[in-house]
Amino acid sequence: MIKVGIVGGSGYTGVELLRLLADHPYVKLKVITSRRDNGVAISDVYPSFRQKTDLKFSTLDKDSLIECDIVFFATPCGIAMSQATRLIKSNIKVIDLGADFRLQDTSTFEKYYKIKHSCPDLLKEAIYGLPELNRTAIKSAKIIGNPGCYPTTIQIALAPLLRADAVDTSRIIADCKSGISGAGRKAELALLFSEINDNFKAYGISGHRHVPEIIEQLRKLTAKKIDLLFTPHLVPMVRGMYSTIYAPLLKDFSTRELQSIFRNAYKNEPFIDVMPLGSYPETRFTRGSNMLQLSLHRPRDSDIVILVSQDNLLKGAAGQAVQCMNLMYDLEETTGLLHIPIIP
């Protein structure tokens, strides 16, 4: 059994990790930390875990993680990098669901996250945890920077097009919509039910932190300059992420050719579902599962539109992290990740 620790277990990403790992056939949960709920049983904070686990939340201290084989960080920026060096030295693998190990460019990191990177040497060894684009490196990784939720949808949508040199990379637009759980479990007025329900809005249109991550990764797929216009919006729903991505085509592709490009790119991918032409993904059809569903549209000859749906807490966070762990331990990639979405 893989001995696992979760740091930051009482947030939404943490509790989703907990749900996945508590049922994972090769995992033994050893430690789960939460500053807020130190000493409290998981099942007291989340009674959905009554009769499922006896673990209590603890605080993060020097020794608590030492018996783990792998530690997941579901924490705000800065925590993972403060712990990673000593964990790696003790031969403990790390998957950070935050941003500490996503960006190789530390100056960009420091500009966007307003914090100095404390272990740039370790960062060089970090692997970006998007299996569909980076599977081989993940398998032998010691430390993973797990992708952001928006970046996952955008990279999966654009990678086949960039590889085929099919679109004008200077004119891409990603109009993205996220459920509220993506904002985390924070006591903030803007996240109250009475502020969110029956309300829709854009936010962070200039300079969202996910942009440099997307650019840095996409650059590996093309030599061309990438200029991404990214507009995130908040949808009054708990889970789900929907990205509507617009790209001008460089050549005169038929829609079938484009569909083939995507079908071929993802034909062996267990978690990427290229839907038939004319389909419309809906977030409910990936809710609670690690699947990402996408479809192509051509409302205007000059452009391709890609519609992408995923559960922001699964393929956009905790599910993807477990997928990486499976790869790192040479398990079947889908182990513990084959939930059927809950409908309705």
The interface with a second copy within residues 286-305 (CB under 8 A) comprises 286-289, 291, 293, 297-300, 302-303, 305
**Nearer to a second copy (CB atom), residue 105 or residue 175:** 175
**Radius of gyration, CA atoms only, the chain:** 20
Report in angstroms how near the CB of residue 90 gets to a second copy at its nearest. 30
Q: Which of 233, 249, 260, 335 binds a second copy (CB under 8 A)?
A: 233
Report in angstroms how near the CB of residue 234 gets to a second copy at its nearest. 9
Q: Indicate whether 273 belongs to the interface with a second copy (CB under 8 A).
A: yes
**Within positions 9 to 38, which residues make up the interface with a second copy, using CB under 8 A?**
12, 15-16, 19, 22-23
**Residue corresponding to tokens 């056939």:** 25
CA angle 274–276–280, rounded 5-degree value? 85
Q: Which of 213, 239, 253, 312 binds a second copy (CB under 8 A)?
A: 239
Pair 304, 258: CB distance under 8 Å:
yes
Q: Which amino acid is at 277?
A: L
Sheet hosting strand 2-7, strand order edge to edge: 27-33, 2-7, 70-73, 93-96, 143-145, 127-128
CA angle 251–263–340, rounded 5-degree value? 140
Q: Indicate whether 210 belongs to the interface with a second copy (CB under 8 A).
A: no
Residues in contact with 254: Cβ distance below 8 Å, sequence separation at least 6, in sequence order:
none
> What distance lies between CA 115 and its chain's CA centroid?
21
Q: Indicate whether 209 belongs to the interface with a second copy (CB under 8 A).
A: no
Q: Which of 191, 226, 249, 250 binds a second copy (CB under 8 A)?
A: 191
Residues classed as catalytic: 149
**Within positions 45 to 74, which residues make up the interface with a second copy, using CB under 8 A?**
46-52
**Residue corresponding to tokens 């398998």:** 139
- Distance in angstroms (rounded) separating the CA atoms of residues 64 and 332: 29
How many residues of this chain bind a second copy (CB under 8 A)? 87
Q: Indicate whether 262 belongs to the interface with a second copy (CB under 8 A).
A: no
DSSP structural state of residue 195: H
**Nearer to a second copy (CB atom), residue 72 or residue 128:** 72
Q: Mapping DSSP to helix (H, G, I), strand (E, B) and coil, where does residue 273 land?
A: strand
Q: Which of 30, 102, 117, 177 binds a second copy (CB under 8 A)?
A: 177
> Could you give the maximum distance between any two Cα atoms of the chain, in Å?
62
**Within positions 119 to 158, which residues make up the interface with a second copy, using CB under 8 A?**
none
Q: Name the segment binding a second copy (CB under 8 A); options: 70-78, 80-88, 185-193, 258-266.
A: 185-193
**Nearer to a second copy (CB atom), residue 49 or residue 128:** 49
**Within positions 308 to 337, which residues make up the interface with a second copy, using CB under 8 A?**
309
Handedness of CA 305, 311, 312, 317 (dihedral sign): negative
Report in angstroms how near the CB of residue 295 gets to a second copy at its nearest. 9
